[in-house]
Each structure stands twice: as structure tokens, then as C-alpha cells.
């Protein structure tokens, strides 16, 4: 089997900053409430850019960072729950924007685990020899599916996109992979798509249909997230034959600092081990892990040979992780 | 004893001393926010292998203890 390395990263967030104080002007909330319960101070919100716009910008940065050309890419995978359109896929729109003329393109739907699943799928394609150079993107315009009158959810989310280039290599950069789903708990975190509506559907049926706004059972999701981080870290370390001391940073899905606090306690590790930037971007769903990763790269926090552990969890319920040797 | 274990869980979670926690102590008076409550409930569920469906109805330490003791007897 071929070996896989992460060769470049990129990210893009919209310029508009919305602080907790800004939000307190439109819903009944406060900076103190939001910060203490989530760790979020501000987030970026699109003023019109859609998912493919942000995805394309992040992709171009990753391509430059990896020192490749768009036509070198043979596969584009976009993890998103908020595509511009059901078809063409976000990946196809990105292909057109960046002129990746040799790529096969598709989106994957795994909510906040989208980028992690994307890295996983890319790894399998490269290992089997089906692809050599893969562009993986996590991109979301969550502001489109938030109920801006629900103070419990509108404070949590932000918009953004991130990308990574994975290439076939002589050196193994993916040391272990963790993945799973639990569809039985799917109702804990939902955003409903188009309801069934046609000339044969009754009005009573239509009146019962729910809208697209994110609906979340906070407690179930919290419980699930803490369990996944704990189990996932243990499994990933076991499969990679590493210990926590070997891992420079754990890069979790950036949902809520209280989840991280709880997981860190269970793992017996300091919270400092977790790289967090959710204070600046909020929860950007599929984009979050990649935005954190690119952030670390931009700050020169990673040297060749460093091991990092990515772990994500989200609607589905879905979950996954990887240990990457940089 | 359920009370001792629950006291320990809460003290650890909230950074309090166990002597601050009695059967009558309410979560509200301890200034527990909804996420602290999630964390405490999760620990209690795991410690006693129970499922607490209606966490909102448990307002005091005593209610949590009684809930657990009822379930564990079954």
C-alpha cells in the first residue's frame, strides 16, 4: 500500500467579526454567559459569501502552501452540511473555480466530522493507488441554518473553510485512524433539508414539517462528545503504538471548551495539550479542525516529525480521528 | 453509599470541599450552570450505571441521592 503525507494546509474565514456583545444586541444573551459556557468570544459571519466561495479560497491557500498546481489534484472531497446546492456539489464548484481539471469531485455529509472523514477517505484512495494528490476541504456557512432568535444555538456557530493537500509519499504520515457512526442517536443534532412537498401531499402533513434551523439536544451531544474524545484518543494511541507524551497537540473539533475540559479530566491530561481557537471562530462544524490545523501551521507550531492527534464528532451522530506525523 | 459518592463527584466537578455539600443543598445555590450539571449528571450516570432521563427535575443533592438509591435497589 502507498504511504500518505499531509503536504499543505489553508483556511479562509469571512472578514465580518461578530462578538458576543454584538449578539447580545439581537438576542437575550451576554458575553459572560457565552464565554463561561462555551469559551467563544467572537465568530466570523458571511455577508453573502457561500460555502463554495470560502472553500475555493481555502483550497487556493492549501495549494500554494503545498507547492503544487491545481491540475495536479486528482480528487477533491468537500465535507459540508451547508452546500450552495445539492448539485452541483461544492467540490465540483470548487473544481471549476480553481481549475482542477483532472480531479474527480464529491461532497461528503458528516456534519462536524466532515473534514476528518474527508482525510480518512483521501488516505484510503491514496493507499490503494487510486489517487496521488487529494484536496480535502471542510467548509460551512452555518449562519444560513441557524435560528437567529434561539439564544441557545445562535451563539455557538460561525462560518469558515479549511483545506489540506494529501499526497502519496515515501514516508507514512497517517499513523492511525479512528471512525464510527451512531445513527440511532441521530435526532440529537439535526438540520432538516427539503420537506416532501408535491401535489399529492396533504396540508396537514406539510404543516407538521420542521424547518432547516439547527436543533440540538445539548446534554446528549455533550455526553457523546466527551465519550468520543476519551475513547478515540485511547484507540488512536493504541493503534499507533504511541503514548500521550508522544503527541504534541490534540486538535479536537472546536465545539465548546467545556467539552474539552471534561475530556481532559477523564484522560488525565492537561487542557494545554488541546489546541483551541474556538474563542475566535466559534463552532464552524466541518471547517473547525482544519481551521485549527492551519492556524497552527501559520504560527509555526509544528515541526517535521511532530505527532498530532485530530479528533472530531458531530451530527449523524458521526465521529472519527487520526494521528498524523507532520 | 450513594450520598458519599455523589458528594465526591460534585466536589471534584465544582472545586468545592465536600463539607459544603449536604442532602439539602440545591444545585442553584451552588451556582451550577447547565454545563456543570451535564458533567455532574454524566458522572453520576456512569458511577451508578443509571440513566437520568429527566435531569431538570433533580434540583437538590438529596433528590439525586434518592433517584440513584431507588434505581440501584431495582
Among A92, A105, A112, A257, the active-site one is A112
> Is residue A219 domain-shared with residue A309, that is, in the same domain?
yes
pLDDT of residue A275: 98
Confidence of residue B74 (pLDDT cuts 50, 70, 90): low
* A163 and A188 co-located in one domain: no
A226 touches chain B (CB under 8 A): yes
Residues A219 and A179 in one domain: yes
CB contact under 8 A, A218 and B55: no
Q: What is the mean pLDDT of residues A164-182?
A: 98
In this structure, what are the phi and psi dihedrals at residue B52, rounded to the nearest 5 degrees? -105, 100
Find chain B residues with C-beta within 8 A of A218's C-beta.
34, 38
Please indicate, yes or no, whether residues A185 and A44 belong to a single structural domain of this protein.
Answer: no
Q: Please give the Cα distance from A128 to A210 (Å, whole number).
A: 42
- Cα A277 from chain centre: 13
Tell me how many domains chain A contains: 2
Cell match 471547517: residue? A287
Q: Which of A71, A74, A105 is nearest to A88 (CA)?
A: A105
Which of A121, A153, A170 is the last residue before a domain boundary? A170
Do A160 and A231 lie in one domain? The reply is no
Are both A64 and A156 inside the same structural domain?
A: yes
pLDDT at residue A178, rounded to an integer: 98
CA distance A282 to A297: 19
The reply to whether A204 and A277 lie within a common domain is yes
Do A305 and A252 fall within a single domain?
yes
Domain boundary among A145, A170, A195: A170
pLDDT band at B1 (very low <50, low <70, confident <90, very high): confident
Q: Kindly state the DSSP code that residue A220 receives in the 8-state scheme.
A: H
Residue A105, domain CATH? 3.40.47.10
Q: Are residues A116 and A237 in the same domain?
A: no
With CA atoms as reference, the chain A residue closest to B42 would be A223
Of A109, A111, A91, A88, give the one whose Cα is nearest residue A100.
Answer: A91
- Do A153 and A179 sit in the same domain of this protein? no
**CATH code of B6's domain:** 1.10.1200.10
Which grid cell is A40? 467563544
Within this chain, do residues A208 and A108 fall inside the same structural domain, yes or no? Answer: no
Q: Retrieve residue B18's grid coordinates.
A: 465536600
Convert the pLDDT of each residue in B26-57 to its tens digit. Answer: 888 888 888 888 888 888 888 888 888 777 78
Which among A148, A170, A192 is the end of a domain? A170
A256 CB neighbours in chain B (<8 A) are: 35
> How high is the pLDDT of residue B14?
84
Residues A241 and A137 grouped into a single domain = no
Domain count for chain B: 1
Q: Given pLDDT bands bounded at 50, 70 and 90, which one contains residue A68?
A: very high
What is the end-to-end Cα distance of chain A in Å, rounded?
Answer: 20
pLDDT for A223-272, tens place per residue? 999 999 999 999 999 999 999 999 999 999 999 999 999 999 999 999 99
pTM listed for this prediction: 0.94
Contacts of A36 in chain B (CB under 8 A): 33
**CA-based nearest residue in chain B for residue A221:** B38
- Which domain range does residue A66 map to? 3-170
What's the N-to-C CA distance of chain B in angstroms?
A: 16
User: Can you give the residue range of the structural domain that contains B42?
Assistant: 2-73
State whether A262 and B41 contact (CB < 8 Å). no
Amino acid at each position: 500500500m502507498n504511504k500518505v503525507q499531509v503536504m499543505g494546509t489553508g483556511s479562509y474565514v469571512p472578514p465580518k467579526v461578530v462578538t458576543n456583545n454584538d449578539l447580545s444586541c439581537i438576542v437575550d444573551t451576554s458575553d459572560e454567559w457565552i464565554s463561561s459556557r462555551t469559551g467563544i468570544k467572537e465568530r466570523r459571519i458571511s455577508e453573502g459569501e457561500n460555502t463554495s466561495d470560502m472553500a475555493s479560497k481555502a483550497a487556493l491557500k492549501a495549494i500554494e502552501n503545498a507547492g503544487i498546481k491545481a491540475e495536479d489534484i486528482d480528487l477533491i472531497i468537500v465535507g459540508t452540511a451547508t452546500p450552495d446546492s445539492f448539485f452541483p456539489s461544492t467540490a465540483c464548484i470548487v473544481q471549476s473555480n480553481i481549475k482542477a481539471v483532472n480531479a474527480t469531485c464529491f461532497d461528503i455529509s458528516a456534519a462536524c466530522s466532515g473534514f476528518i472523514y474527508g482525510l480518512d477517505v483521501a488516505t484510503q484512495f491514496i493507499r490503494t493507488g487510486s489517487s496521488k494528490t487529494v484536496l480535502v476541504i471542510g467548509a460551512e456557512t452555518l449562519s444560513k441554518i441557524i435560528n437567529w432568535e434561539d439564544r441557545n444555538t445562535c451563539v455557538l456557530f460561525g462560518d469558515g473553510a479549511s483545506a489540506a493537500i494529501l499526497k502519496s509519499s515515501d514516508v507514512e504520515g497517517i499513523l492511525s485512524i479512528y471512525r464510527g457512526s451512531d445513527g440511532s442517536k441521530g435526532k440529537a443534532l439535526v438540520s432538516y433539508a427539503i420537506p416532501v412537498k408535491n401535489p399529492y401531499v396533504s396540508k396537514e402533513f406539510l404543516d407538521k414539517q420542521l424547518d432547516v434551523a439547527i436543533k440540538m439536544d445539548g446534554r446528549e451531544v455533550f455526553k457523546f462528545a466527551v465519550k468520543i474524545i476519551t475513547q478515540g484518543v485511547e484507540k488512536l494511541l493504541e493503534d499507533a503504538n504511541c503514548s500521550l507524551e508522544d503527541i504534541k497537540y490534540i486538535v479536537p473539533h472546536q465545539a465548546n471548551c467545556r467539552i474539552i475540559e471534561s475530556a481532559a479530566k477523564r484522560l488525565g491530561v492537561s487542557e494545554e495539550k488541546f489546541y483551541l481557537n474556538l474563542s475566535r471562530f466559534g463552532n464552524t462544524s466541518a471547517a473547525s479542525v482544519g481551521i485549527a490545523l492551519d492556524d497552527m501551521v501559520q504560527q509555526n507550531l509544528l515541526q517535521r516529525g511532530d505527532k498530532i492527534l485530530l479528533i472530531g464528532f458531530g451530527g449523524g451522530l458521526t465521529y472519527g480521528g487520526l494521528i498524523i506525523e507532520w | 453509599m450513594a450520598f458519599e459518592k455523589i458528594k465526591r463527584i460534585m466536589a471534584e466537578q465544582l472545586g468545592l470541599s465536600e463539607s459544603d455539600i449536604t442532602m439539602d443543598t440545591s444545585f442553584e445555590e451552588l451556582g451550577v450552570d447547565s454545563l456543570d450539571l451535564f458533567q455532574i449528571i454524566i458522572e453520576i450516570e456512569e458511577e451508578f450505571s443509571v440513566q437520568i432521563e429527566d435531569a431538570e427535575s433533580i434540583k437538590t443533592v438529596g433528590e439525586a441521592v434518592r433517584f440513584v438509591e431507588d434505581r440501584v435497589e431495582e
